[in-house]
Structure 1
């Protein structure tokens, strides 16, 4: 029994991670992390979620759903900022929890995040493919069903656009993060300008009557709770998916210049920008047309602009949004490859994943992520997996918020005192944990079931491979 306890609670020395990650090139500045964060958080969802949540759950109060989700995400981001400032290691939550709570708990947190990265890469690539093909159709250009849909879905064999996009981003990242960061910065600026263009033009078509009643009367629908605070809460769990991208910034903290200051500014700054943009889009969208108009509408932003007589602006915004999806793909693939590198670095997965190339780039882990993303994104229908992205990340968030208590007792001892600390300690970490737990509880039963299955698979891998082959085990 003591051996079992030792396996679960053995902790990595933070100085070991500092040494292992020292070979990674530190080239990312605050502006690069702001672009990575905004690019990952403000992805496809900003053009779809406001309309979907308004029609299915919250009505005009969709803005409140975004605000409540932002408050919970904001509290978690404070914990992330302190962790990343104190321990700027590759792998984010996996590495931090390994140091604070122990190897098994770090593995569970990292394994939960891995689900997000695998599925998010496939999800964003497929969304980009659908929108790109949608832009080509008015020009009379269309791909056959066999090359447009996932395997076994509507006559599909492979989603070729999704496959090409994932390969293209992988090739870009394989040349180093500094090159990818420059492209990311430009694309994010374009995307933000497109969102601002929608807000400015949309303001001219607002009818104040569409905002009343702001919180519709509560009743049950085929989609679940609608109206009242129950509807707002149902919207929060759907919307939280949009905010989870800030964890992808932390995964790259080992490649940050002056991470003590760079990481908190990148994490908190990108989330603040994203909140303002999401709130702006949701308020304008429900003001342009009655919320019920967006029911079963896959492109509410483009539809609202066209119905208001702004077809040219709609085309511009949608075209830039397709280009902007690359930013989310860059952020997710960058973070996912660094997490896989961390697993290999520690022996939790085959050690070749933790090896760097001649230019000190973790390209082996990048290509494994690429292959898995290709399989999921181009050959499998994955709509039923979408909520697993949220479930896995929420589990990791719970570990990180509680980890602040363990971190504080070691700051100034074996862990450096960070330049940023989570405010209102010890109350805010507890409130953050409760907030994340409430959001997790609001997810659908399918999401919880898939998260449970993923957890069981992870535990099996840990005890059959990870715990036996980890470098911590060999040291003991």
Structure 2
């Protein structure tokens, strides 16, 4: 096979009708409020209870709120691209399916494989954060787990497995297996309670703010480090970009949404506005209560700050809600990741059994595959290690979705429907969006980039040894 034929095969595009037919077996029950709840549950999940303190101590100091704003701007640009694409192509798998239709199978695999890294690590990351809060809550009553089962694998500390992390994933996977309609009811209640308690933290914590803790607001940059100055703010934005991966989690459920043309853009933008507002407020209160440096390596800074400020009852209430509330993030991520894995199976890029849909209209094989794998990852690797890796895959997908607008717009009104929501300032804003995500990606730490490269290499091996050989795209390819 010559080079041109190989290239043509890699760029072979999927037919939208094929996805529409296959995804029709899924439940179509999600409303706008459900999408905002899923997105908010993920955006203000582990990140809002953990990352403001960690990023303040390691990167931005009191200016951590600016890191969240910078990340929100980058994510918001991508959300505009997601909004347009999801109204035209409301299929399971989000960027994987979109890029498959617009650029071709190989590029779709790259986008999907990038997202799988994000989802796979996010499930373990959130579960690890839940475990940290559970251990902190129990310790306030003098209850401690045996060292061997209280943390990720660490021979120095004598820990081998994080049993709470594995348990959290198991419980949420069981809940999701009961069906999307049932699980979204639980999700909506949890998110409402969680937002209420976040507001309580903001108002109660504000009474213990010491203005001196905001000085200097932007600490001086320390040469040779990622702390202080503009470098610290940007580095912090790169690390906390995990907070905004909820956008793709919303889009991954487009095939199960009642009216995606209306609900998807509202769900995306509603999540962005609500999430950013809460992040900025929590960050300002947290660094105002205590000097930012005390939050170093603290996976439960909000509850810690309340306890040490004398608000023990509110701190314990926050811990309890955090324990329950973090399940909302796990629900959103497991839903999205199982739908992406289902999409891989639907396209025969991975074993077709992953596309099996049970009597409850749940892709159960995909759900339990990702759940078991994440249980292993989350129970072995420590929280701080996972937090550095999760943003890379999302950023790559955001870049590809931003550029996809250039392939989508010419086809609208021809072989694809006209978008009910359009990304403004076309053709300038899509490239600005892509460059913003690329800029944040370049500021990720070295470990994230190296491990993402390893993940990519593994993905390429998997594609050329399995995916391209089993794909059925030749049978239902499009002319575009």
Q: Aligned-pair distance for 1:119?
A: 1.3
Q: Aligned-pair distance for 1:435?
A: 0.4
Q: Aligned-pair distance for 1:410?
A: 0.6
Q: Aligned-pair distance for 1:212?
A: 2.9
- The answer to whether the 8 A contact 2:88-2:419 is kept is yes
Q: What TM-score, normalized to structure 2?
A: 0.95
Q: Aligned-pair distance for 1:473?
A: 3.5
| CA RMSD after TM alignment | 1.7
- Which range is displaced more, 71-80 or 352-361? 352-361
SS at match of 1:416: coil
Q: Within 2, Cα distance between the matches of 1:142 and 1:231?
A: 35
- The answer to whether the 8 A contact 1:376-1:382 is kept is no
5 Å-filtered alignment, 1:211-250, equals: 211-220=214-223, 224-250=225-251
Q: Aligned-pair distance for 1:110?
A: 0.2
5 Å-filtered alignment, 1:75-114, equals: 75-114=77-116
Q: Aligned-pair distance for 1:159?
A: 2.4
- Which range is displaced more, 100-109 or 290-299? 290-299
Q: 2:19 aligns with which of 17, 26, 29?
A: 17
Q: Hey, what does 1:293 align to over in structure 2?
A: 294
Q: Within 2, Cα distance between the matches of 1:131 and 1:309?
A: 19
- CA offsets, 1:332-391, max 9 Å, x none? 110000001001101101111112113332111111111211221224457434333111
Q: What TM-score, normalized to structure 1?
A: 0.96
- The answer to whether the 8 A contact 1:385-1:447 is kept is no
- Which segments of structure 1 move beyond 6 Å, counting only runs of 4 or more? none
Q: Within 1, Cα distance between the matches of 2:61 and 2:191?
A: 29
Q: 1:45 aligns with which of 25, 44, 47?
A: 47
Q: Within 2, Cα distance between the matches of 1:240 and 1:123?
A: 13
Q: Within 1, Cα distance between the matches of 2:384 and 2:295?
A: 20
Change (3 A) 1:298 1:170: closer
SS at match of 2:226: strand
Q: Hey, what does 1:470 align to over in structure 2?
A: 471
- CA offsets, 1:166-198, max 9 Å, x none? 111111111101111000111111111111001
Change (3 A) 1:313 1:286: same
Q: Aligned-pair distance for 1:397?
A: 0.8
Q: Hey, what does 1:353 align to over in structure 2?
A: 354
Q: Hey, what does 1:172 align to over in structure 2?
A: 175
Q: Within 2, Cα distance between the matches of 1:162 and 1:420?
A: 39
Q: Hey, what does 1:160 align to over in structure 2?
A: 163
Q: Aligned-pair distance for 1:319?
A: 1.6
Q: Hey, what does 2:314 align to over in structure 1?
A: 313
- Which range is displaced more, 308-317 or 407-416? 308-317
Unaligned runs of 5+ in 2: none
Q: Within 2, Cα distance between the matches of 1:447 and 1:51?
A: 20
Change (3 A) 1:175 1:20: same
- Which range is displaced more, 304-313 or 194-203? 304-313
- CA offsets, 1:108-133, max 9 Å, x none? 00001111111111121122122112
- Which range is displaced more, 203-212 or 442-451? 203-212
Number of residue pairs matched?
474
Unaligned runs of 5+ in 1: none
Q: Within 2, Cα distance between the matches of 1:310 and 1:152?
A: 33
Q: Within the alignment, does 1:410 sit opposite 2:403 as a pair?
A: no
- The answer to whether the 8 A contact 1:467-1:473 is kept is no
- The answer to whether the 8 A contact 2:67-2:236 is kept is yes
Q: 2:202 aligns with which of 199, 202, 207?
A: 199
Q: Within 2, Cα distance between the matches of 1:209 and 1:134?
A: 28
SS at match of 2:430: helix
Q: Within 2, Cα distance between the matches of 1:47 and 1:359?
A: 33
Q: Within 1, Cα distance between the matches of 2:384 and 2:281?
A: 27
Q: Aligned-pair distance for 1:214?
A: 2.1
SS at match of 1:225: coil
SS at match of 2:24: helix
Q: Within 2, Cα distance between the matches of 1:166 and 1:422?
A: 36
